[in-house]
Amino acid sequence: ELPVEDSYWDNTGTVVETLYDHGPNLRTHKWHDWNNEGQLSYHVRLENVGDQPQTGILLTDTYPLSTTFNGNWGHNYWDWMNLSTPPGVLVWELPQMGPGEGTDIWFSVDLDAGYEPFRWYTNTLEASLDPSDSNPADNTYVDVAFSGGEVDNVGIDVYGNHISVDAPFDPITITT
């Protein structure tokens, strides 16, 4: 006998996946996290969503200007993986990836000037392109990290007589 169902709302889900023509198809995805105020951490996902094995894969990451690769990286790939580090770029070489297989890579970069407000850090990831790739558009991924504004929080006590601000020591004008 099945247990009594107490929440029907969690019994459904939707996944949308575009199907492409027969052939090779590598797909990239990437996201970032702020690792304290002086570092960005990136997570890369590479997948072979095509129906043919891929060999000699190059995955190139152009990390943001005003950052420096700090040597911190890892992966969960089941085979060897070579990393080259020319200035401003990380290049991973993977020997093979079968249909339906994928791997994750993670790494960190240091912000050269530490935390600075109003900064955008653009990072571009690109997987090598087979000339017959059925969807070349998903071989490249651009991630933009925004450092945030100079004011993190402004609190006004309407019934009292004070204003609290979490901001740098520069003058701030608050208009109400």
pLDDT digits (tens, 9 = 90+) for 131-168: 899 999 999 999 999 987 766 666 666 566 666 655 55
Q: Residue 89 has what pLDDT? A: 97
**Calculated CA dihedral for residues 68, 89, 41, 126, nearest 10 degrees:** 160
- pTM for the full predicted model: 0.77
Under the banding of pLDDT at 50, 70 and 90, the label for residue 95 is very high
Q: How far apart are CA 46 and CA 59, in angstroms?
A: 8
- 21-30 confidence digits (pLDDT tens): 888 999 999 9
Encode burial over 70-107: b for 16+ CB neighbours within 10 A, e otherwise: eeebebebeeebeeeeeeeebbbebeebeeeeebebeb
Q: How far apart are CA 153 and CA 141, in angstroms?
A: 32
- 39-85 confidence digits (pLDDT tens): 999 999 999 999 999 999 999 999 999 999 999 999 999 888 999 99
Sheet holding 39-48, edge to edge: 26-34, 39-48, 102-111, 67-75
Q: Residue 79 has what pLDDT? A: 87
